[in-house]
Structure 1
Amino acid sequence: MSTAARPEAASVRLSARTVALYAIGSLGTGGYATLPGLVLTYFLTDNLGVAALTAGLIVTGAKIWDVIIDPVIGAASDRQYARTGSRRGFMVAGGLTLPVFFALTFAVPPSWGPTAGAVCVLLAFLATATSFSLFQVPYVALPAELTSGYDERTRLLGWRVVVLTAAILLSGAGGPELRGATADPVAGYLLMGVVAGVVIGVGMLIASRTADAAAHHMAADERPTAVAPAGLREQYAAGVRTLRRSQPFRALLGTFVLQALATGTMLAGAQYVATWVLRSEDAVTLVFLALVGPALLATPGWTVVARRLGKERAFALASILFLIAAASLVLAVWTPGPWMYGSIAVAGIAYAGLQSLPMAMLPDVISHDERRTGRGQAGTFTGVWTAGETVGFALGASTVSLTLAATGYVSSVAGTTMQQPDAAITGIVLAFSILPALLMAASLLTLRRYRLRRADIDA
């Protein structure tokens, strides 16, 4: 019998230690998701002199690599879990190797020239993405195996998002501070890459211990026997089959990808908004404080709302709130100023729900599929999920890069001062406001097709 099918499992409350160990993993996921999205494109265009379009292609290329390998890692994780009862091996490998590759991504000096610099950053970031996927895919699979309780999953993922939000705040605010800690921009970026890489790796290694807790929750004879085939072609086919047979997964994944694209667009545009709209490169720290500070406080509130209204309704409310806040920022085209921090703070309140609620809904989708089909393929599900999330964030950075290129943004190297045309500044504001709002509106249409409710999970 699978853990999803055991009625008594729904009433078991996870220990505080298990919840804490799992949540600490978000030190890694938050740091990796934030810093590259926030500063990598800017590092390429305004430190190495790489053209905006090329910079966008570099970030997108690394993310496409994620999309290729995530389903393979997910299927391999399922096989490891069926064989050993734990997904820890891949998680440890990712935690040990990511700090090195992350630091190398920001170790390229401008003196190498734009072409050599672009190639070196691409290779280092590809390696970083591989290490992160080794950790992230099995990490996202664990909640479905730790508990089958509808509200208990919300509690587990709620605390994860509290740490995730703190990690985003630490990375988004602390990363630029580390970058500016030295007078030399080259040394500053390297310092940021080394410190952030170590913090991310430590968080990953601590969270890997949760995989052993998942093994204790399921006896050896309860592990799923239906795992993905070993061949590459069959592994990809297994991912396609999960999409075909699970309508709730298709609806939730479509919603999450569109929202990852919306938030990824805002994230990639934040540094440009700080520099050219708020007229201070250091203002990116205040932007992150405005966005993430309220989110840190709002996550427990979204957990309460989800218990009263259901996760899907709470998710819709968070999406609508984010849409309104993002759309209001378009006024910065005509009247930029400190008032923008208020709209960003409202978006931050919504962002807490956009992170915690879909992640709490994904284990419901996995257990619902296992109950209907008897197949234990949590890793396959999360491999497809992580690939979809990666696509969203990658296209977010690409969207900003294309907008900059289309509006005449002028790239530069470290230590030089440039003026941007008015069209480029308008493009920055639109990429930070209207584009995310439109994407969020589209995600509400896909969310309407999500049909799982509490009764379907706790039945």
Structure 2
Amino acid sequence: MATIAEASEVRTKQALPASLKLGWGSGAFGIALLMNGVSGLILLFTASILQIDPWLAGLVIFLAKLIDVVTDPIVGVWSDRYESSKGRRRPFLLWGSITGAISFALIFTSPSFENQYLTAFYIFIVLSFYAIAYTIYNIPYMSMPAEMTDNYHERSSIHAYRMVFISLGSFVATAGVKVVLEALGKTEPSSYAVVGVGCAVLILISTMVAYFTTASARFTQGAEKSTKSNAAQVVHEFNAVRSNRHFLRLIGVKFAQLLGVQTSGAAFAYFFVQSLGRDFNILAIFGTTVTISTIIFAPLLVKFSQRFGKKNTYYVAASVNIFYALSWSLASEGEPLWSIVMRAAFVGIAFTGNVVMAMSMLTDIINADANRTGVRREGAFTALYSFVEKLTGAVGPLIVGFALSFAGFNNKLPFDVPQGGNVDTALLFSVSWLPALFGLVAIWILSGYNLTEQELQAARAENTANNEVNKQEKS
């Protein structure tokens, strides 16, 4: 008979069924559409379509995201301790699917009141609802891979499948949406309403598919019942999480990197129209190229990481992203299509490496912590990680909104009318210089990350041995 250690080793080498990876990964389509559809359009929509001053629009987007300070830890610890025959996480996927789709539709069907502050207040309410819905789905969803497998490289494989669906969802949010807006009239509020309702349907279908197809996924039991109050439990769990040096290093990398990405994303549609003199159809070609590049490089980068390590793969992706950002400083009005497409191909490499490696490293950290402490904290870890992602998504539009206001951007004009001068400088600052600077900071922080496969295997072996000793003592 195999020993417990041998049985554990066999289990860790088993690959998950492709059908399960596809099913779980499909939820990323809806999440990517939900996130990128809002982040890529929200500043332009609120400032130029709803006619809210750019600084106020950026401030409202930022304040609505602050609700995640409360909701992220609550949902994270709640999903850690939730008990259900369907697992701890899957019920949240059901609730988040419905509320997420509704929230997306509400945002882009927002009315424009005569008083811009009333419009801003309405946007704040629906964006707050959106933030809560996104949290309910995404935190439990992103916690699932840590439960689904113990295999070091299988975690990268899972997220490579997810990366494909992220690419497809981002494709719809960037290329698809831009083509529709260009065809219907990109300055017409009714066009955004059509996009909002149509995307909401796609979000609902995708996220529900992930709910149904993960019924067979392995899930672990939550922490034992505690006599502490709910608030005390949240504080206790997050004190444990934030004391993890590997995790603090990883979220430092993600904060710096994503702050650049989100700043660029908030300004990108303006930059294409204002500075490059291009329409949304060219922006759609850019998005299509990014999607193709991402799908091609996802499996290649996983193989690269298996040979050279996750940290080195992350270095490559982050470096590519810096050079990509700086390349926009060389662009000018009427930039040739070939150079735009080439940049998009490099974005695919950077985006894939950053997302896949970061999430694979996160699941490594979660499992290492569980092996060391004997407590499963997937939700708590993912909640803090997700909050950093969403915080940068709030700060990015805030930076761009104030930059445009400071540059004298006139939001009463149609946004496809070039304003030049300081506006172009503010946009270049947002899509090139600032992202490159933040990328360098991310690489510097990453240099201190040192959680390896060998360390994980040692922790797992020690945990198995301790469990065996405890069983013998009890018997």
| TM-score between the two structures when normalised by the length of structure 2 | 0.89
Q: 1:83 to 1:234 in 2, by over 3 A?
A: farther
Q: 1:169 to 1:334 in 2, by over 3 A?
A: closer
Return the offset for 1:217.
Answer: 5.2
Matches of 1:144 and 1:417, distance apart in 2: 45
Q: Which runs of 5+ in 2 are unaligned?
A: 459-475
- What does 1:285-296 align with in structure 2 at a 5 Å threshold? 285-296=284-295
Matches of 2:432 and 2:344, distance apart in 1: 10
Contact 1:248 1:452 in 2 (8 A): yes
Contact 2:12 2:149 in 1 (8 A): yes
Matches of 1:455 and 1:320, distance apart in 2: 26
Counterpart residue number, 1:130: 132
Contact 2:36 2:174 in 1 (8 A): yes
Matches of 1:81 and 1:299, distance apart in 2: 35
Structure 1 window deviating more from structure 2 (7-16 vs 230-239): it is: 230-239
For residue 315 of structure 1, what is the amino acid of its counterpart? Y
| 2:212 counterpart of 1:182 | no
Matches of 2:227 and 2:201, distance apart in 1: 33
- What does 1:368-387 align with in structure 2 at a 5 Å threshold? 368-387=368-387
Structure 1 window deviating more from structure 2 (112-121 vs 40-49): it is: 112-121
Return the offset for 1:112.
Answer: 4.5
Structure 1 window deviating more from structure 2 (331-340 vs 107-116): it is: 331-340
Match of 1:106 among 99, 108, 116: 108
Matches of 1:240 and 1:125, distance apart in 2: 29
Count of paired positions = 451
Matches of 1:38 and 1:307, distance apart in 2: 33
Return the offset for 1:357.
Answer: 0.9
Return the offset for 1:335.
Answer: 8.4
Which structure has the bigger radius of gyration?
2
Return the offset for 1:277.
Answer: 1.4
Counterpart residue number, 1:35: 37
Contact 1:332 1:340 in 2 (8 A): no
- % same residue: 24
Return the offset for 1:86.
Answer: 2.8
Counterpart residue number, 1:401: 401
- What does 1:243-392 align with in structure 2 at a 5 Å threshold? 243-244=242-243, 246-282=244-280, 283-332=282-331, 336-338=335-337, 339-392=339-392
Q: Secondary structure at the match of 1:109?
A: coil
Matches of 1:170 and 1:347, distance apart in 2: 16
Return the offset for 1:92.
Answer: 0.7
| 2:45 counterpart of 1:46 | no
Counterpart residue number, 1:207: 210
Deviations 1:196-229 (A, max 9, x none): 1121122222212355333x455xxx65437795
Matches of 1:393 and 1:344, distance apart in 2: 21
Contact 2:81 2:222 in 1 (8 A): no
Matches of 1:136 and 1:80, distance apart in 2: 16
For residue 196 of structure 1, what is the amino acid of its counterpart? C
Counterpart residue number, 1:169: 171
Contact 1:66 1:129 in 2 (8 A): yes
Contact 2:72 2:383 in 1 (8 A): yes
Matches of 2:320 and 2:358, distance apart in 1: 16
Q: Secondary structure at the match of 1:351?
A: helix
For residue 405 of structure 1, what is the amino acid of its counterpart? S
Q: Which runs of 5+ in 1 are unaligned?
A: none
Return the offset for 1:152.
Answer: 0.7
Structure 1 window deviating more from structure 2 (32-41 vs 101-110): it is: 101-110
Matches of 1:277 and 1:147, distance apart in 2: 47
- Aligned-pair Cα RMSD in Å: 2.5
Q: Secondary structure at the match of 1:213?
A: coil
For residue 30 of structure 1, what is the amino acid of its counterpart? A
For residue 242 of structure 2, what is the amino acid of its counterpart? L
